[in-house]
Chains A and B, each alone.
Chain A
Amino acid sequence: MHDLKPMTPLGQHEPVIETHGPVTLTEVTDTALASVAARLGREADTAAILASVLGSETPAPARHGGKTLTAFWMGPDQWMVEAPLETHEDLAAQLAATSEGAMSVTEQTDAWCRFDLSGERLADVFERLCSANTRAFTGGEAVRTAIEHLGCFLLCRTPAHISVLGPRSAANSLHHALLTAMRSAH
């Protein structure tokens, strides 16, 4: 039996946590991801299936939400589903089993890295990084934008807690950009 140790996107054995001024950056590795895309003509079916998975309405454009599981809007008739990794390591397979041929499901867990920024005046940090209007965030927004030339999602859980999802292969570049902006802003 192999004794394999999982590595985080930053290449460590434990998630990185760093605080600068009022802002704390936390590497988040306990979330499973799978994307869902409606097949042509099955848009309504997909929204209904996803709503039953989430236990709430399917998120509207540029929004995230959900009760049992959460999801965010990625594009027209496309969503990313988030779930606790411990209970949903096979999230894509679980969703595919409910798909009834209406939607395409893609495993995404290891495609992304996630950094959560929490604290006061987060908009001061994000206005240095991207063109998303983070100052207007009130909670529930899910915006795709470019940070450090990388396509990233910003998920506003609350105005004092924003998740950044970026490509895992560029985790160190994204981490560097976030830290640089935190030091610049505060």
Chain B
Amino acid sequence: MLIDHPLLGPRDASEFVYKGDASLINRPDWQAEDALAKFIDYGYLRDNPASDHRELWFHEQGDRSWLVVTRDTTTHEIKSVELARDVARREGRSK
């Protein structure tokens, strides 16, 4: 499997490590009233779609960047690859 790194081009998947669901970018506010419930959801509950799945990959044997990869779980087709920091900034996570 090849992952088309946005900066470096296609790289072998063996250079990457899977780091989980991309929703992990959205860490809840620890000071909120319902922080406990939110963190239980954040820590343990995942969607399991039989279609496009957004996931975090870490380029461990490369430039050490974190990527958000959108992959179809039924065909393993990779539909888009973005730098996780760009995704996080777009979603207002980066201050």
Residues of A within 8 A of B (CB): 40, 61-62, 73-76, 131, 144-146, 151
How many Å lie between the Cα of A151 and that of B15 in the bound state?
Answer: 10
The closest CB in chain B to the CB of A151 belongs to B61
Query: Which residue of the partner chain, among B7, B60, B61, B85, contacts A62 with CB atoms under 8 Å?
Result: B7
Residues B15 and A145 in contact, CB atoms below 8 Å apart: yes
Q: Say what secondary structure dominates the interface of chain A.
A: strand
Number of interface residues of B (CB under 8 A): 15
What distance in Å separates the Cβ of B10 from its nearest Cβ neighbour in chain A?
A: 10
Residues A76 and B85 in contact, CB atoms below 8 Å apart: yes
Residues A131 and B65 in contact, CB atoms below 8 Å apart: no
How many Å lie between the Cα of A118 and that of B15 in the bound state?
Answer: 26
How many Å lie between the Cα of A62 and that of B59 in the bound state?
Answer: 14
Residues of chain B within 8 A (CB-CB) of A76 are 7, 63, 65, 83, 85
How many Å lie between the Cα of A62 and that of B10 in the bound state?
Answer: 13
The closest CB in chain A to the CB of B9 belongs to A62
Residues B15 and A74 in contact, CB atoms below 8 Å apart: no
Residues of chain B within 8 A (CB-CB) of A146 are 15, 61
Residues B15 and A131 in contact, CB atoms below 8 Å apart: yes
Residues B8 and A62 in contact, CB atoms below 8 Å apart: yes
Task: Give the residue among B12, B60, B63 with the most A Cβ atoms within 10 A.
Answer: B63
Residues of chain A within 8 A (CB-CB) of B64 are 74-75, 144
